[in-house]
Structure 1
Amino acid sequence: MKKNSFVYGSILLTLVNFFIRFIGFSYDILLSKLIGAEGIGLFQMIMPVLMIFLIITTAGIPTAVSKLIAEYNSKNNYDAVRKTYKVALLFTLALSIGLSLILILFSRFIALKIFRNQDALRCIYLLPPAMVLISMTSVIRGYYYGLKMMGTASISEIVEHVTRFIIVIGLLYYIYPLDPIQGAFIAICGISIGEFFDLIWLLFIQTRFTKRLPYVIPTPIKMTKLLWQILTISAPLTISGFFNVILQFVNAILIPHRLMASGYTNSEAIATFGRVMGMAMPLTYLPYFVTSALVINIIPNLSEQVFLKNYKPARNTIHLAVKITLLVSIPLTALYVFFAKPLAVYLYNDPKASEAIYMMGFCTVFLAMQHTFSGILHGLGKQKNTTIHRIISMSLQFAAIYYLVGNPTYGIYGYFIGFFLCTLSICILDFYTLWKMTKIKFKYVDLLIKPFFAAILMIFLIFMTQQRFLSINFHLSIGFVYSLIIGGLGYIFVLLTTKAIPRNLLHMLFRIDR
């Protein structure tokens, strides 16, 4: 007898995601004001270096730990749980230290040959502590996710963001005004500061929790076998993550160059790239607030259910995850397509961004679905399939960028075509793999038809209320916000009326599973 841990955990993680993103957004705004454009520019220039190295330790290993811990915990094999955690932690520590030494060894080449910036060299020297700490905390969080201790892992992320915010922003205010380069150093050190307090919290909780685990007779399972299991699961995810980071890096270089080849000036190419990546893309990824929580939660959940051969609850969990994803992404897709210009004006004060928001809006639902599908397939042990699907699809996107963006007939529309083909092909391939493996029967009326008609009513309400506010000379931006609220309430009303969202939702969260 237990609570509906998947629903409860997903909602908890979604709320934590909202809080963390709010803290992160506030931190970025204040950081920009305090260290200036030059300091932020140096900070942003160094971050991709850290991310490329971190992909090796954080893209697949925490997921593998979460999956294996969930499986061993489901059969009360606490010795294997402890050994898996220990092996993963020691391996990640050794790997992150090795990568840090490589980074230090090539730091001068990266700073002086690639960035051509002497200040970047000193910034790179500050990255190894962050690399080691982030790698360690990611593995420990994977351990807690595998044990379904969502609250503990969620609090650790809050500890990281809040302590970094308080210490870094407080220090910058104390010594303000300051040199921008000095500000960039403090911002980079802030990464390690937040992760250090996060690690202290996780280790403190881990010590208290370990004492409560029952003693069991050690099992003959070898450490080398556990390490091989971790590597087998994590390797495809690491490769996929590495390709994704490289593609982002290539996009930042290739898209402006290909736009100039198609007739854009340098300033037009950079501005167009900024509108796509800096304005439209964050909106397109907005459903990740919810899908990230689903993916983190569903991997250990499905791993445990499949290991115990509880196939019916596993199918119900998959159906629920897909349903939640569509309920969130369909109205956002409609909003971006029908109200791209108001969003561009009210959010960014840039009407030209509306074209990018409109075109990228069509990808929103597919981007959200492929994120959820990836979590489901990882939970089912199909990480190799998801890696192959993403490599194939990213190749399509790269080809579209290279051949279409440089063509004056297409220009930036070549990128939109490539991104749409990439997200759509991943969705189709993932869905086919999922259906072939589970033979799951989706309730398409609930999943698609009901939210589609609810989204139509939402768009109608937003349009009508916006016109009404305009007729009485109401403040434009405030009126648009009120229109969004009214439209959103109308969307929820239709879902409740048609039982797409169960009316007894709160009861579901705390009901006892049979």
Structure 2
Amino acid sequence: MHPSSRTRLFLRGTFILTAVSLLTRVIGFFYRIFLSRAFGAESVGLYQLIFPVYALCISLSSAGIQTALSRIVARHMSLKNPTRANLALKTALFFSMILALFCTFAVQIFAPFLSESFLKETRCIPLLKVMAYSFPFASAHACICGYYIGLKQTRIPAVSQLLEQTFRVSCVYILYMAAVRQSEETGILIAVCGLVFGEIVSSFYCIFAVRKAFHKEKQFKKHTASVYAECFFELFSHSFFLTANRIALNLLQSIEVISIPQALVRYGLSSSAALSHYGILNGIALPCILFPSAVTNSVSVMMLPTVAEIQAASQKRTLVSMIRKVSASCLFLGLVCTAGFLVTANFLGNTIFQSPGASSYIRTLAFICPFLYTNSTYISILNGLGQTTSTFLINVTGLSIRIAGVFFLIPRFGMTGYLMGMLFSQLYVFFCCILKLKRSL
């Protein structure tokens, strides 16, 4: 592909994903305000507590497969082999769905054990059981989006993302208002129902869209078992380390998330206060800081197939030039956001969320913006280059620094210690990625 055509596709895809991501984050911004006011900080903290299990199951069933599929599709399309790209999607859907169903049954059966022994909170049992129904739909959604990202066609992934967020929020609001009208007590379980419903709607849209596209292009052809076996081994070889990477990272993140409330108790807070502080951090402050990353996340999504395609074409100079431009843009955005959050922290925490604690968290987290936004792009570039082992080691070490902050800094300095650990972690990942990219290129 000509560099100018590639650049246009990259920019168009990034623009579409960014526009939709910003819109969904605006919806999510007001949704979190609604959750915090309707259910309280403690319930929001309880809701956030189930997400390590959710992320772990998604990592096992679809996250690594989605990334691998994008790279495989981009490579085959670069080599003018669309049939193998389509077969890769069918193989990924089949393999991912089996893993997703396994996760659903496992969480349903072991929800009491996970809540009591892993999350240390028995109130999570019904939340986990309802959440488990989302895995098969999330797998279909992820695989089809990964396929279209590999093609650098972002319309369907963008629309599915918007549908998922819109129907999730609408479902929660309708259920909440219905319960209020009937004078019934409402619980945070409503938010989990919205999560499942949003995944159902987005997955059905993706399935309908891809079936229509395949039917139009007459791609439903019969192939021999050996061809499917080749596709399976190709997918497995690309996704195995990515999936292992995601699982290991999510296990470490789970340890981190679960240990934060316990470390705050050792600092001197009550169990209820610790859960409230955790809810403010993960439910209010971090989403604010991550809001501008809609831009850099879109860039990182588009970088993976673009890097894979440029690498397949052996255009090293083009690749280096693109990485330099993207790095400078992400760092500039991060610096602007740091200044913006420092100025608006009080307004966001006190006026918008009516939470004074959120103001101090936002102000401290503002300093990680340049590194946080750039790191996601660097990791995507390294994955596009096939450097999955390096990204695994960098991410694991960075998370280990954060976990050290949980165990050693929170009991002494409170939540400030954790925020310090996050800053050191992002700095470490940033400089490691730069060194690895310099060596690779």
For normalisation by structure 1, the TM-score amounts to 0.75
SS of the residue 1:126 aligns to: helix
Per-residue CA deviations over 1:207-260 (Å, capped at 9, x if unaligned) read 221134377997997433333332333333333433443344333443344445
Which residue, out of 290, 293, 298, partners 2:298?
A: 293
For 2:28, the aligned partner's letter is G
State, as a whole percentage, how many aligned pairs show the same letter. Answer: 25
* 2:69–2:235 CA contact under 8 A, matched in 1: yes
Alpha-carbon distance between aligned partners in 1 of 2:262 and 2:186, rounded to the nearest angstrom: 32
Q: After superposition, where does 1:322-401 map in structure 2 within 5 Å?
A: 322-337=327-342, 340-341=345-346, 344-350=349-355, 353-401=358-406
Alpha-carbon distance between aligned partners in 1 of 2:48 and 2:424, rounded to the nearest angstrom: 29
1:132 matched residue in structure 2: 136
1:24 matched residue in structure 2: 28
Which residue, out of 294, 303, 323, partners 2:308?
A: 303
Alpha-carbon distance between aligned partners in 2 of 1:53 and 1:115, rounded to the nearest angstrom: 15
Alpha-carbon distance between aligned partners in 2 of 1:219 and 1:11, rounded to the nearest angstrom: 40
Q: After superposition, where does 1:5-404 map in structure 2 within 5 Å?
A: 5-30=9-34, 43-111=47-115, 120-177=124-181, 184-213=188-217, 222-262=227-267, 273=278, 276-337=281-342, 340-341=345-346, 344-350=349-355, 353-404=358-409
Alpha-carbon distance between aligned partners in 1 of 2:141 and 2:301, rounded to the nearest angstrom: 15
Alpha-carbon distance between aligned partners in 1 of 2:187 and 2:167, rounded to the nearest angstrom: 18
For 2:212, the aligned partner's letter is R
| Change beyond 3 A, Cα 1:221–1:364 | farther
| Change beyond 3 A, Cα 1:402–1:128 | closer
Alpha-carbon distance between aligned partners in 2 of 1:185 and 1:271, rounded to the nearest angstrom: 17
RMSD across aligned positions (CA)? 3.3
| Change beyond 3 A, Cα 1:430–1:221 | farther
For 1:127, the aligned partner's letter is M
Residue 430 in structure 1 maps to residue 438 in structure 2: no
For 1:417, the aligned partner's letter is M
Q: How many residues align structurally?
A: 436
Alpha-carbon distance between aligned partners in 1 of 2:343 and 2:99, rounded to the nearest angstrom: 48
| 5+ residue gaps, structure 1 | 439-514
* 1:20–1:161 CA contact under 8 A, matched in 2: yes
1:298: Cα distance to partner?
1.0
Larger Rg: 1
* 1:79–1:217 CA contact under 8 A, matched in 2: no
The structure with higher relative contact order (CA 8 Å, sep 6+) is 2
1:310: Cα distance to partner?
2.8
For 2:56, the aligned partner's letter is I
1:382: Cα distance to partner?
1.0
* 2:48–2:282 CA contact under 8 A, matched in 1: no
| Change beyond 3 A, Cα 1:182–1:400 | closer
Alpha-carbon distance between aligned partners in 2 of 1:39 and 1:276, rounded to the nearest angstrom: 13
| Change beyond 3 A, Cα 1:336–1:113 | closer
Per-residue CA deviations over 1:13-32 (Å, capped at 9, x if unaligned) read 11100111122334444456
Q: Which moved more, 1:277-286 or 1:193-202?
A: 277-286
| Change beyond 3 A, Cα 1:236–1:422 | farther
1:173: Cα distance to partner?
3.1
For 1:308, the aligned partner's letter is A
| 5+ residue gaps, structure 2 | none
Alpha-carbon distance between aligned partners in 2 of 1:430 and 1:384, rounded to the nearest angstrom: 12
For 1:358, the aligned partner's letter is R
Q: Which moved more, 1:195-204 or 1:103-112?
A: 103-112
Q: Which moved more, 1:385-394 or 1:125-134?
A: 125-134
Per-residue CA deviations over 1:44-84 (Å, capped at 9, x if unaligned) read 45444333322212331111111101111112212211211
Per-residue CA deviations over 1:482-507 (Å, capped at 9, x if unaligned) read xxxxxxxxxxxxxxxxxxxxxxxxxx
| Change beyond 3 A, Cα 1:416–1:38 | closer
1:188: Cα distance to partner?
2.8
